[in-house]
Amino acid sequence: MASPFEVLQAVEAECLSKAAGLPILDDVKQSWTGIGFRIGDMALVASMDEVAEILHMPAFTQIPGVHSWMVGLANVRGNLLPLLDLKGFVTGQDVASKKGSRVLVAKHEDGVTGLIVDEILGLKHFYLEEQAFEIPSLSDSFRPYIKMAFKNADQHWPVFSFKKLVQQERFLQIAI
């Protein structure tokens, strides 16, 4: 009768003999994943590291005496979420319809902020080799928030940085 150690050696030998010849993946491509969204006609992508969640437009309370891009406060699962119209903040033009809009909840050091966008375009996966070194033509209002871009299938995807957004002095000055 074989000892337990000999049984384990036999099992290991059988496993190794059956595993022989399996393909080995030597070339692993580094990838980057983000959330695609649309502001007006512009398709953008944000890093997954900067997005906490995506919401349908919640009920909110307006705040008097603030800029028009500061939409209000929403109670989301017992937590107050400031709602900011991203298009209004960046371009000065309000989102066309807040009812059909979605909210990207952006994570930052001081908490979270709900950023209203026109549409969510889903998860976008890029290989790092698809990083574009030329950022496509953008309006000057978007340029401070774009840190890089990706290009695939002849489409540029500028990467919008919520971190750069919340560091803006104007972001902190919501009162008129």
Domain span at residue 73 reads 31-172
Distance separating alpha carbons of residues 27 and 159, to the nearest angstrom = 26
Question: Residue 140: inside a domain, yes or no?
Answer: yes
- The closest of 11, 15, 47, 22 to 32, measured between CA atoms, is 47
7 located within any domain: no
Task: Report pLDDT for 147.
Answer: 82
Kindly state the helix (H) or strand (E) to which residue 29 belongs, with its residue range: none
Give every strand in the sheet of 51-56, ordered side by side: 51-56, 102-108, 111-117, 79-85, 70-76
Which CATH number belongs to the domain containing residue 106 in this structure?
Answer: 2.40.50.180
Residue 136: inside a domain: yes
Structure tokens at 99: 């009812």
Local confidence pLDDT in tens for the 176 residues of the chain:
789 899 899 999 888 888 766 666 666 789 999 999 999 888 999 999 999 999 999 999 999 999 999 999 999 999 999 999 999 999 988 766 667 799 999 998 888 999 999 999 999 999 999 998 777 778 889 999 998 999 988 889 999 999 999 998 998 898 98
The structural domain count of the chain equals 1
Within a domain: 114: yes
1 in a structural domain: no
DSSP labels for 122-162?
A: EEEEEEGGGEESSPPP--TTTGGGEEEEEEETTEEEEEE-H
Is 44 within a domain? yes
Instruction: Let me know if residue 72 belongs to a domain.
Output: yes
| Lookup: tokens for 90 | 């960046």
Residue 78 belongs to a domain? yes
The pTM is what?
Answer: 0.80
